[in-house]
């Protein structure tokens, strides 16, 4: 029974703490608690180490909502607080199970039956611990995030295959780097100290840690990996969440697993099975890549027993918000060249599970995805080797660069630099310096690397210090020469045209006018309230929707005047006229412009080569935003119907991909959608202007996700005011023209607030000011183009390389 007020110590005070494991337990208490709660916590920590306790329901909800979708949360809540919080957190992907601990089981079972994630209602602490223990044995196998990188060969015109597949390539290279990098006692001691801090007060895991320190040997690594202990929990979490520094510290043990899998490599073909619970969005992500290749970013555990895998999916009559998935995998050892797999049953802590383990980075081809009569999705995959896909030459070339000499921290640092992991790259460059003899000429390369890297991060003082150290070293060692400077960088840059933009990229704050800027007018050196810009690097041209001039204008790079390429025959609705064109894109497949002819409530196609007339392709639409995906499908926003539709080639009606549920601010609604963007996963980003937010709608989703702004209108960094142009980089960071705030904002993926990219100086017409920015675009170099509406100009902001 609840008898005593819980003391305030030990309660949530900081949202920055982070567990090294995937699973966490959240406990939301009433004002009074049951005695022996502390003992219960000790027992629960032997199951799930990380426990957060709350008394304030708002703090608890805030904490849960700010966790990553890759986290996995188990919630314990009282009956009355549960009724308040569960409706708001139940739909979150990271919440996997909820337990209601109360005094009145019967009354609470009446409301809990509506929520499938509520596993049980209990009145006894022993029962609570027992239930969580039983459930977690299965949850840890089927609920861990399925961490993959995909690459596709179906890349549309104008797209770079290597750009689309960059993460896949670098994940493969990173694994190779770590396997070759020799480990030191310093690294192992750092890992042990991190584990000791993580499990302070958890006697079960501290005992495991002591046993590990005393008895570990490479031939026992598979036993340790399969044992229910810190080793598996932290390593798997690091791999699945791509915690690169933890992977780095584990690298010698990853290498031991690799060698053991090589030793016990299966010598005949196998069919194995893997069960997984997935959200519909996660499943759709795989459906969209049938026939393509995926790389598994963790050790991939499977079973030879189909019945064992099916058992883990639970009773099919039990309601769940997730999709039950069974992977059926064909693996032939004859094709394996670099990533081994083996039946590890004889070397496992659980020999009866018939476990077959695949090495990190194993590559599979996705086959059929179908649902059987038991409503289980069957996904067929085939193990592949590095020679089977279109990135063979890229992978092989990059791996040769790594293998051309002894692996070192500098090579690893350069790979991380290319991945945009600046802080980690700096860390490993510095580690390399610490290990070098004082007169080693490699100092020159490292000082240069660090000087350039810190400059790119924007830490100019530190960059100067590294360059000063370089000069000092050269003075003391005049005979030292810089052999192989930037070898790794150059090999990667020449092989892969890397995207120049990352979360630390900065742009010069003063723009250069590249079109218009000569006052409001209709001369060829003028614009009149332009709305959108499309950058065509191949033709060294930008195309502008010149709104009040009723025309589309092409402006060559460096030109003083534009050239009319559509319209300009006066405002009208003839086939050779436009009325307030508000957006334009280039359809490179059909060599034509697609124009949002807003005043005529139509979308028209206009030939790019000497086009005199347009052809209406969509009628009766209050069009505003336009974009195309890599397959040539057209997306259009409609401000009257508050929706975004996708038209496949030749389609008449189009399919709603965002909104379509009337005007409103719910997650399934829009209010005056303007500019749109579609990423490589076919997720649609919408500037939901009157809701002062940017929404992301994953392919097939019924609701959107707010990725920028959204609470209300304002000028704080957490808010937007009538957002317009939107673009998204390869890392998922959102760039938005904050119209009424006269600034361009960047919202990093998962962030609760944005930062100002350019336009920190309020409304104006100076080169560092805007007056109503609308359209946005990047060129291939990552330079930013902004339509400055009321200033009748297009501004270009170069990347600041200093």
The residue count of the chain comes to 802
Per the domain annotation, does 286 fall within a domain? yes
- Pick from 393, 417, 446: which residue ends a domain? 393
Per the domain annotation, does 789 fall within a domain? no
| Residue 17 pLDDT | 59
- The CATH number of residue 425's host domain is 1.25.40.10
Beta strands in 44-196 (DSSP E): 50-54, 72-77, 95-101, 118-122, 148-151
- Bridge-based pairing state of the strands 563-567 and 551-556: antiparallel
Task: Indicate the burial class of 617 (C-beta count within 10 angstroms; 0-12, 13-18, 19 or more).
Answer: middle
Collapsed DSSP state (helix, strand, coil) of residue 533: strand
Residues 386 and 461 in one domain: no
- The CATH number of residue 98's host domain is 3.40.50.2300
pLDDT in tens, 234-271: 999 998 888 888 988 998 899 899 989 988 988 899 99
- How confident is residue 514, by pLDDT bands cut at 50, 70 and 90? very high
Residues 17 and 130 in one domain: yes
SS (H, E, C) 115-150: CCCEEEEECCHHHHHHHHHHHHHHHHHHCCCCCEEE
Per the domain annotation, does 515 fall within a domain? no
Residues 313 and 229 in one domain: yes
Look over the chain and give the mean of its residue pLDDT values, rounded to a whole number: 85
C-alpha to C-alpha distance for 189 and 11, rounded to whole angstroms:
31
Q: What is the mean pLDDT of residues 561-576?
A: 94
Find the DSSP H helices in 683-756.
none
With pLDDT > 70 as the criterion, what percentage of the chain qualifies?
Answer: 88
Angle at 525 between CA 524 and CA 528, to 5 degrees: 85
Q: What is the mean pLDDT of residues 22-42?
A: 78
Residues 116 and 161 in one domain: no
Residues 210 and 248 in one domain: yes
- The CATH number of residue 234's host domain is 3.90.176.10
- 485 and 444 in contact (C-beta within 8 Å)? yes
pLDDT in tens, 552-562: 999 998 899 99
- Bridge-based pairing state of the strands 2-5 and 743-747: unpaired
Per the domain annotation, does 526 fall within a domain? no
- Bridge-based pairing state of the strands 377-384 and 323-331: parallel
| Residue 395 pLDDT | 59
Q: How far is CA 554 from the centre of its chain?
A: 35
C-alpha to C-alpha distance for 671 and 744, rounded to whole angstroms:
21
Output the six-digit token pair for 448: 């240069």
Q: What is the mean pLDDT of residues 491-507?
A: 52
Angle at 698 between CA 65 and CA 533, to 5 degrees: 110
Model pTM? 0.56
In sequence order, the β-bridge partners of residue 679 are: none
pLDDT in tens, 290-315: 988 888 888 999 999 999 899 888 87
Per the domain annotation, does 609 fall within a domain? no
Residues 104 and 237 in one domain: no
In sequence order, the β-bridge partners of residue 6 are: none
* Residue 646, pLDDT above cutoff 50: yes
The domain tally of the chain equals 3
Residues 349 and 457 in one domain: no
Q: What is the mean pLDDT of residues 607-632?
A: 91
- Closest to 531 (Cα-Cα) out of 588, 587, 595, 590: 595
Per the domain annotation, does 27 fall within a domain? yes
Residues 129 and 168 in one domain: no
Residues 23 and 162 in one domain: no
pLDDT in tens, 343-387: 999 998 888 888 999 999 888 999 999 999 888 999 999 998 766
* Residue 330, pLDDT above cutoff 70: yes
- Closest to 310 (Cα-Cα) out of 357, 275, 278: 275
Residues 380 and 491 in one domain: no
| Residue 597 pLDDT | 97
- Pick from 115, 141, 167: which residue ends a domain? 141
| Residue 160 pLDDT | 36
Collapsed DSSP state (helix, strand, coil) of residue 543: strand
Residues 342 and 285 in one domain: yes
- Pick from 361, 393, 425: which residue ends a domain? 393
Per the domain annotation, does 749 fall within a domain? no
C-alpha to C-alpha distance for 592 and 55, rounded to whole angstroms:
61
Output the six-digit token pair for 721: 């005011």
> 686 phi and psi, to 5 degrees?
-125, 130
pLDDT in tens, 145-166: 877 878 765 544 333 333 445 5
* Residue 723, pLDDT above cutoff 80: yes
- How confident is residue 167, by pLDDT bands cut at 50, 70 and 90? low
Angle at 711 between CA 708 and CA 716, to 5 degrees: 70
pLDDT in tens, 445-474: 888 889 888 888 888 888 888 988 888 888
- How confident is residue 223, by pLDDT bands cut at 50, 70 and 90? very high
Residues 312 and 429 in one domain: no
pLDDT in tens, 772-784: 999 999 987 789 9
Q: What is the mean pLDDT of residues 405-431?
A: 76
Per the domain annotation, does 584 fall within a domain? no
> No. of H helices and E strands in the chain?
21, 40
Give the domain range for residue 458: 408-495
Q: What is the mean pLDDT of residues 620-640?
A: 93
pLDDT in tens, 106-122: 999 999 998 999 999 99
The residue among 745 and 416 whose pLDDT is bigger is 745
């Amino acid at each position: 029974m609840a008898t005593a007020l819980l003391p305030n110590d030990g309660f949530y005070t900081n949202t920055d703490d982070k567990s090294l494991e995937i699973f966490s337990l959240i406990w939301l208490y009433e004002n009074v608690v049951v005695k022996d709660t502390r003992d219960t916590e000790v027992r629960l920590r032997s199951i799930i180490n990380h426990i957060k306790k709350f008394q304030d329901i708002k703090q608890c909800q805030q904490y849960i909502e700010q966790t990553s979708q890759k986290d996995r949360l188990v919630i314990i809540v009282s009956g009355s607080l549960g009724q308040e919080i569960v409706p708001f957190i139940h739909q979150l992907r990271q919440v996997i199970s909820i337990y209601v601990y109360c005094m009145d089981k019967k009354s609470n079972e009446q409301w809990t039956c509506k929520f499938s994630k509520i596993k049980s209602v209990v009145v006894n602490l022993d029962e609570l611990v027992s239930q969580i223990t039983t459930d977690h044995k299965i949850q840890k196998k089927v609920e861990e995030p399925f961490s993959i990188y995909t690459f596709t060969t179906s890349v549309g015109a104008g797209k770079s295959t290597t750009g689309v597949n960059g993460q896949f390539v670098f994940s493969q290279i990173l694994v190779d780097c770590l396997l070759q990098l020799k480990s030191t006692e310093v690294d192992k001691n750092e890992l042990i100290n991190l584990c000791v801090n993580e499990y302070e007060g958890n006697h079960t895991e501290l005992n495991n840690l002591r046993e590990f320190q005393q008895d570990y040997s490479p031939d026992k690594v598979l036993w340790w990996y399969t044992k229910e202990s810190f080793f598996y929990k932290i390593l798997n979490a690091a791999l699945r969440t791509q915690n690169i520094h933890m992977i780095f510290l584990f690298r010698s043990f990853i290498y031991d697993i690799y060698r053991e899998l090589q030793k016990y490599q299966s010598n005949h073909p196998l069919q194995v099975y893997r069960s997984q619970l997935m959200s519909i969005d996660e499943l759709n992500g795989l459906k969209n890549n049938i026939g393509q290749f995926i790389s598994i970013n963790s050790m991939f555990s499977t079973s030879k027993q189909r019945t064992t895998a099916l058992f883990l999916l639970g009773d099919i009559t039990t309601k769940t918000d997730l999709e039950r998935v069974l992977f059926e995998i064909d693996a032939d050892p004859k094709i394996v060249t670099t990533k081994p797999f083996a039946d590890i049953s004889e070397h496992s802590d659980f020999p009866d599970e018939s476990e077959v383990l695949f090495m990190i980075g194993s590559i599979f081809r996705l086959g059929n995805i179908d649902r059987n009569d038991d409503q289980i999705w069957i996904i067929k995959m085939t193990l592949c080797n590095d020679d089977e896909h279109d990135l063979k030459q890229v992978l092989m070339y990059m791996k040769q660069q790594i293998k051309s000499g002894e692996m070192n921290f500098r090579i690893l640092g350069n790979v991380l630099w290319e991945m945009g992991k600046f802080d980690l790259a700096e860390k490993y460059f510095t580690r390399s310096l610490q290990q070098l003899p004082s007169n080693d000429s490699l100092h020159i390369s490292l000082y240069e690397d660090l000087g350039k890297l810190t400059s790119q991060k924007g830490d100019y003082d530190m960059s100067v210090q590294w360059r000063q150290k370089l000069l000092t070293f050269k003075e003391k060692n005049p005979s030292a020469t810089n052999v192989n400077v930037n070898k790794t960088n150059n090999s990667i840059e020449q092989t892969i045209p890397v995207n120049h933009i990352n979360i630390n990229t900065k742009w010069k704050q003063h723009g250069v006018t590249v079109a218009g800027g000569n006052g409001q007018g209709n001369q060829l050196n003028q614009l009149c309230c332009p709305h959108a810009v499309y950058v065509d690097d191949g033709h060294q041209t930008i195309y502008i929707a010149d709104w009040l001039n009723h025309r589309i204008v092409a402006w060559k790079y460096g030109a003083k005047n534009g050239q009319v390429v559509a319209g300009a025959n006066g405002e009208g609705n003839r086939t050779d006229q436009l009325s307030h064109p508000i957006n334009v894109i280039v359809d490179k497949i059909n060599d034509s412009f697609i124009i949002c002819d807003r005043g005529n409530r139509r979308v028209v196609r206009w030939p790019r080569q000497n086009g005199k007339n347009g052809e209406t392709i969509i009628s009766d639409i209050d069009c505003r935003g336009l974009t195309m995906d890599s397959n040539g499908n057209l997306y259009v926003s409609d401000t009257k119907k508050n929706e975004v539709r996708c038209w496949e080639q030749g389609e008449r009606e189009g399919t709603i991909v965002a909104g379509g549920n009337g005007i409103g601010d719910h997650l399934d609604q829009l209010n005056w959608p303007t500019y749109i963007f579609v990423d490589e996963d076919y997720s649609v980003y919408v500037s939901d202007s009157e809701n002062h937010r940017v929404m992301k709608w994953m392919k097939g989703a019924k609701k959107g996700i707010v990725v920028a702004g959204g609470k209300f209108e304002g000028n704080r960094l957490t808010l937007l005011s009538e957002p317009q142009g939107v673009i998204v980089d390869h890392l998922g960071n959102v760039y938005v023209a904050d119209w009424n705030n006269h600034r361009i904002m960047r919202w990093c993926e998962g962030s609760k607030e944005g930062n100002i990219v350019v336009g920190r100086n309020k409304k104006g017409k100076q080169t560092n000011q805007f007056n109503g920015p609308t359209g946005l675009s990047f060129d291939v170099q990552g330079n930013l183009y902004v339509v400055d509406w009321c200033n009748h100009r297009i501004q270009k902001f170069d990347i600041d390389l200093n």
